Amino acid sequence: MMTSTDRDWTTELRHAVAAGDLARVLSLLREHFDDHELATRLEAVPGPQLRSLLRFIGDDESARLLSRLDAAGAAALLDRLAVSDAADILEVMAPDDAADVIAEIPPSEAAEILIEMEPAEADELRELMEYPPDTAGGRMTPAFVAVDPELRVDETIRALRQVAQTAETINYVYVIDDDGVLLGVLLLRDLVLNPPATRIRDLMVTDVVQVPAMADQEEVAHLLNDLDLLALPVVDDAGRLLGIITADDVADILEEETTEDIERLGGSLPLTVSYLRASPFLLWRRRVVWLLVLFAGAAYTTTVLRLFEEQIEELVVLSFYIPLLIGTGGNVGSQVVTTLVRAMSVEGIGLRDVGRVLLKEMQVGLMLGAVMAAVMFVRAWIGGTGYDIAFVVALAVAVIVVWATLVGAFLPLLLRRLGLDPAVVSAPLITTIVDGTGLLIYFLLARLILDL
């Protein structure tokens, strides 16, 4: 439903278009250049007016505007345009961005758009769409600069002037043979600082850091960040240069991966569209699966309580501290998982580091447990329980804290080794695991110390 704010905005925009006031149109658009807000606003513009607007501002500005949206939002807007208009805009967009957008359009309509595009641009998009979107091939751009090793410096510089406007970056000049195999790379500064007659083969660096097309996008992003490079070449199995991943792609990749990890850590499957575009039904589908899994996992907590029902009836005061104990364990486990998943993503920590990780977390757990045990003992003593009950509760919280720390540290590493996303060890799942096992620890200690 269109709100009064939407109506005011679209009315002013329509008047600006009708008056031919391009400056005012662009000003209105830039006022709402927040990605999600812009998608919402433009969706409120009726189809004929949207087509008039995008034609009015031109293909270049339209492409720049759509590139600020997520792929699904841009595809939704293009889907409301004539096929020829959508094709014109996609031709102007960066190939990697255009491939992401057209992948979100229904296949039959995407095929029509590709037919309308210039053959060369359409072929580029088809090649990019052959690779999964979360791989280097799916994120690369074919707009790179490549030259023959036999060219001279002055010839290369002249060639660069001709392609500088269409290349993603000219900071790196790649050297390929007649079959497209990557031979080397040189910096733009190397061309400027060397004599004009120098051959490229004498300047190029042959030890080139490169990534296969099927490499995971997150690993590629971290590699580019770690090496402090502006771009990475993407090659096929034969070593042929297919495209490049640039530094600006890294920010998008890491944002996507971080968002996905955060959503998983919150116990929800990641969204494939922006939140504002997501329907209530989609949000329900993304959350209900994990919620049911966690609900089923939490059922064993009830089983543990039934198992120790007699002890609880014999000493009711034990039940008073259950919320504090399992709550503390869950909080500790969540802290460890959040920290470790982040470290695994940024620092590349794996199962090979399990000894160091467990030793470190054991030390942290012991220190945290000692503090929590002291606080819990004082809390129980002040609450009027006897020394023996206070001791049991304090000892239980110390053991639970150490246990939760170890569980939270080990499971993400194990899942990564098994080829699973460590982010699925979400905070709610850790809480569920620690709740039941924490109760077992508590009541077993009570039975042993209090002779119940």
The token duo for 18 is 């009708």
Would you give per-residue pLDDT tens digits along the chain (452 residues)?
A: 445 455 566 677 677 777 777 677 777 766 655 555 665 667 677 777 778 778 877 888 888 878 777 787 788 888 888 888 889 999 888 888 888 888 888 888 888 889 888 888 888 888 888 888 778 888 888 888 888 999 998 888 888 888 777 676 778 889 999 888 999 998 888 888 889 899 999 989 888 889 999 988 878 887 887 788 888 899 998 899 998 888 777 666 766 666 556 555 555 555 555 545 555 665 556 555 555 555 555 555 555 655 666 665 556 777 777 878 888 888 888 788 877 877 776 666 777 888 888 898 899 889 988 998 898 888 888 877 778 888 888 999 899 989 988 988 888 888 777 776 666 555 667 777 787 788 888 888 888 887 76
What pLDDT shows up at residue 182?
Answer: 93
Helix or strand or coil: residue 93?
coil
Domain ranges of the chain: 4-130, 146-256, 279-450
C-beta neighbour count of 169 within 10 angstroms: 18
Those residues whose C-beta lies under 8 Å from the C-beta of residue 213, and which sit 6 or more positions away, are 131, 135, 136, 137, 140, 234, 235, 236, 242
Note every long-range contact of 123-127, with CB atoms under 8 Å and residues 24 or more positions apart, other chains counting: 124/95, 125/90, 125/95, 125/98, 125/99, 127/242
Whether the CB-CB separation of 228 and 150 falls below 8 Å is answered with no
In one letter, which amino acid is 266?
Answer: G
Distance, CA of 98 to CA of 67 (rounded, Å): 8
First CA to last CA distance, the chain: 64
Q: Find out whether 211 and 136 touch, Cβ atoms under 8 Å.
A: yes
Token look-up 């699973």 returns 420
pLDDT at 2: 46
pLDDT at position 181? 92
Angle at 227 between CA 221 and CA 233, to 5 degrees: 60
Sign (positive/negative) of CA torsion 239, 242, 248, 254? negative
- Whether domain 279-450 has CATH 1.10.10.10: no
Predicted pLDDT of residue 260: 59
DSSP string covering 341-362, please?
HHHHHHH---GGGHHHHHHHHH
For residues 215 and 135, the answer to whether their CB atoms sit within 8 Å is: yes
Whole-number pLDDT of residue 58: 81
In contact, 318 and 312? CB cutoff 8 Å: yes
Looking up tokens 């209090």 gives 450
Give the distance from CA 305 to its chain's centroid: 40
Please give the Cα distance from 338 to 340 (Å, whole number).
6
The CATH number of 4-130 is 1.25.60.10
Contacting residues for 286 by C-beta, under 8 A, at least 6 apart: 263, 268, 269, 270, 271
Which whole-number Å values give the CA distances from 180 to 147, 148, 161, 241, 255, in the listed order?
Answer: 10, 10, 21, 6, 32
Give the CATH class of 146-256. alpha beta
